[in-house]
Structure 1
Amino acid sequence: MSNPSTRKPPTGKLYAIADIHVAFSYNQEAWFELAPHPGDGLILCGDIGETVEHLRQAFSIATKCFDTVWWCPGNHELYTFPTGSSTDFRGEQKYQQCVEVARSFDILTPEDDFVVWEGEGGATVIAPIFTLYDYSFKPYDVTIENAVSWAREENIEATDEFLLHPDPFPSRQEWCSHLVKKFEAKLEAAQAQFPSLPFVIANHWPLRKDLASLKYIPRFVIWCGTTLTEDWHQRFNARAVISGHLHIRRTDWKNGCRFEEVSLGYPRQWKHCAQMGLGVNDLLREVLPGPEPPENGEAPVQWRRYG
């Protein structure tokens, strides 16, 4: 059970960041520099770290700096190592262990009720979800069964294949299918409860295949989401969809919805920011109130290399 809530409803802005990877000392030190944001909220969009200790470390800083914090898991939180605090936790059980750690810091998770944001930007349902992936971001001429072999042809293979276990499901694809149905139903229920409100959907993996563009490792795309969520931004009236995972910061507009990739990334992937004097405080992405949609609902990609 979570502790009784001590959260103050935020009255300011909503920010997001993903892939802070505090297992790296460089990132850990940067996270310790997170500045206080009284009145604001923060979405942590997965890949905080791999262990319970990483989560506690990151969550303790986040909750000291922000009035309300949301978290959704990435693939790294779900890893099972042969030693350490999560040795006996695999798959769904590892996820639930992470949920309990988050709740001990009064952080909202995908397993908690979606809440209505009442800060800047107006009433909006904040919906952290967890969908995983099912290899369906493959090319059309590659079968699901051959997707991993196709990636291996270019010496690409996700660590997930060795450390992310799907227990009790037979495969990650079947776990993904279960999760998609679960959170589709949860979003539908929230939409029925708040029919006039827009949503902010936060998920570690991109909801759309066309947003999973990986110039240097294109075949890694099969570990980046599921086509089952392709239209969720329209179905659930999303004003913004937040994701991480790709370590490529960008903003896209699709059908009047803003898609934000908000990763910090591994040290080498934001070192140029650090060399320019930019840290995590500069790389937090403002979600709400955020900019107004473009007139026709579409806009060119805005690359966010420097925040």
Structure 2
Amino acid sequence: MPPQPVLVFGSFDYVCSQTALPLCPLVGTSLVTPSCYARNIEISTGTLLFEPATIFIEVIALIMTAVMVYNIKSKITLGTVPLGCKEIALLLYLYAATLVNEFFLVSGIIPMASPAYKYFVATHIGLIVAGFWALAFNGVVGFQWFEDGTPLSLWTLRGSSFAVFFVSFLVSILTFTSSGGLNSAYPTLLYIIYFILPLVFLIVYGVLQTILIVNTLDDRWPLCDLFFAYLFFVVGLCLQFGLSTGLCNIANHYIDGIFFGCVFTLLGVMMVYKYWDSVTRDDVEFAVGGKPDDNMYLLDNHIIS
């Protein structure tokens, strides 16, 4: 039995030994697979569906994302445009696109032997990193350095998100094909883009929103939503990359780390949405001590004339 890989900066060997990430067959000096992964099911003669439990959760996540987007659109229809509603909607669109892409990869609909596989994986990585960038951008919106919902704000978000996506996609493809000075055996730059950049964007969002709440709101309850968003994200990482093998064995190969990563990412996204909703609503659900309504929530809502 080969020795268990250890966590090394710039190497995916350890995480691939815990969870079967879509990029794992495309990087490293040798193919590293987890000792326990979710069993597949046969949907027709000779046709296998991989990660059925994860696929089910991804469908649920798409439905919940559609509900959140619908609620955002409903607020606009009712005559008010809450702060950053179009920007948070773009974040949810990126999350939905990531889910759709991941669905094709983890289910085996796009097989690893397919020439298109590496392009789908590169797209998946690009969408993940762009989604975290969009989250960080949403953290800036509340400071009103430029007015939210305007063409300047929206096109800055769209353009910068596309730039982040394109750079991540390009680095991924060059790494997978060992081109442009990059090497699939030593994917350090891809490691930084896949793990470090999203972490930086996540921290930036949390710091900015904490500063905004402390300096702007009399109410501190939204910090609870923010706390749980980060808690779910951290728990998901621990379960996916630290406890995946043990949980998979306990569950008799019915679920693995990818399943838990998907579940807790969904919970984290839902708490980000709940946090945004709690700091932009008009009512006084979280009112404490009879504070004036116009001081309760993050700046004023924009009224459609």
Which TM-score applies when normalising by structure 2?
0.26
Higher alpha-carbon Rg: 2
Which protein has the bigger strand share? 1
Instruction: Give the number of the structure with larger relative contact order, counting CA–CA contacts within 8 Å between residues 6 or more apart.
Output: 2
